[in-house]
Amino acid sequence: KNEIHITLKQKEQSLNLEVTNTKEEQPVKPKEDGGIGLKNIRRRLELLYNTQYELLIDNRSDYFKVYLSIPIA
| Model pLDDT for residues 28-41, shown as the tens digit of each residue | 666 655 668 889 99
User: Using the 8-state DSSP alphabet, how is residue 29 labeled?
Assistant: P
CA–CA gap between residue 1 and residue 11 (Å, rounded): 32
User: Using the 8-state DSSP alphabet, how is residue 41 labeled?
Assistant: H
Tens place of pLDDT per residue across the chain (73 aa): 899 999 999 999 999 999 999 998 776 666 655 668 889 999 999 999 999 999 999 999 899 999 999 999 7
Residue spans of alpha helices (H) in the chain = 36-49
**pTM (2 d.p.):** 0.81
14 within 8 A of 71, measured Cβ to Cβ: yes
